[in-house]
Amino acid sequence: MKPLFMWAGGKTKLLDTFAEHLPENFDTYVEPFFGGGAVFTWAYAKNPDAKFVINDINPHIMEIYRAIKGDLQEFCTILDDLEAQYISLLPPTYKKTTVIDGKKKTKWLPLEGGAPDKELEKKYKLKGRTYDWDKIYEIRPSRRTFFFKTRSLYQENLHNWSETKRAAYLYFLMKTGFNGVWQAKKSTGLYNTPCGLMRHKDSIYDKKNVVSWNAALQNATILSEDFKETLEHASAGSFVYLDPPYRGGFADYDTVKDDNFQETVISFFESCKNKGSYCLLSNRDLGDNFFESRKGTNKLVYFNVTYTVGRKKKNINGSHDATKATEILMIGS
């Protein structure tokens, strides 16, 4: 089982590094900052009979987990229908392979009928940065125009739809949107990522993985609250894994607000520990001893990581710059 979608700060790549600090035994697993739930996939594989409490303040992604847990068939029916419509349409590019001096070279070139028609899109531009995607799709059906038409339909109607329909539409968009990342419109808080490369062959999602999540979530309580509300679920025998947004990573938090938030997370960690839970906390080290000076009796381990995020500029040789960072893991003791 792997996470259902890419998530900023997702911990899949760090699982091996965390391995020696993960607990042998636990009867309840509590994850208050769930996102894509990479550590949950470890916890479920380790002890499928445990009780799980998963929470994230983002209600839209928690609806995806709730729909997969409780309404799998309807979720897949809606998703499969969107997938079939999308796959039948032209993608924006096609792959052209040429052989020069015995060496194969591949290029992605604009595909007639699938690539953006700037003139047409300009013609149906509405106020602000919106477009009449229904009209544009009607004139020029393609994967790109279908994506934007579906995104508009979702943004305009989600409040009148069933939870399962909302979740399936959002999952479709997340699987076809740019880099699989979540980006929300500031004014509405709704998913607003642009379209991706749309190079899918015959499927946009891994159905087997979705079915595995359906099984894994059966023992899970799925919440969408502020992390502090999950304290009541921690007790002796619980494993609590805290993975808040990285320090320094909040777009709309100033340093003081950010540090206050991180301190609240550390006190939450202490409260869970006082209840007898085994606790881990991940974050990023900014080199100013913030966590070191607040670790109390807990142990702090440091990992050097490199990561690439978003649409980075290519170097001359075609590679992408990787950013070096130091991750920390605070271990309750």
Ligand X SMILES: C[S@@+](CC[C@H](N)C(=O)[O-])C[C@H]1O[C@@H](n2cnc3c(N)ncnc32)[C@H](O)[C@@H]1O
Judged by the rule CB under 6 A, the positions of this chain that interact with ligand X are 7, 9-11, 32-33, 35-38, 56-58, 226-227, 243-245
Nearest to 46, CA basis, from 273, 239, 283: 239
Note whether 21 and 331 are within 8 A (CB).
yes
Which helix (H) or strand (E) element contains residue 280? strand 278-285
Q: Which is closer to ligand X, CB of 29 or CB of 227?
A: 227
The first and second tokens of residue 321, run together, are 């710059």
Q: What are the backbone angles phi and psi of residue 203, rounded to the nearest 5°?
A: -155, 150
Q: Are 214 and 69 in contact (CB under 8 A)?
A: yes
Between 63 and 243, name the residue whose CB sits nearer to ligand X: 243
Rounded Cα gap, residues 264 and 54, in angstroms: 19
Q: How far is the CB of 7 from ligand X (least distance, A)?
A: 4
Q: How far is the CB of 327 from ligand X (least distance, A)?
A: 11
For 333, the 3-state DSSP assignment is coil
3-class secondary structure, 36 = coil
Give the span between the Cα atoms of 6 and 188, in whole angstroms: 22
Question: Would you state the structure tokens that stand for residue 158, as one six-digit string?
Answer: 């989600």
Pairing of strands 28-31, 51-55: parallel
Least distance in Å: CB of 298 to ligand X?
19
CB of 243 to ligand X, least distance (A): 4
Nearer CB in complex with ligand X: 71/243: 243
| Min separation Cβ 110 and ligand X, Å | 34
Report the residue number, 55 or 150, with the smaller CB distance to ligand X: 55
CB nearer to ligand X: pick between 35 and 196? 35
Minimum CB separation of residue 21 from ligand X in Å reads: 15
Cβ proximity to ligand X: between 58 and 183 the closer is: 58
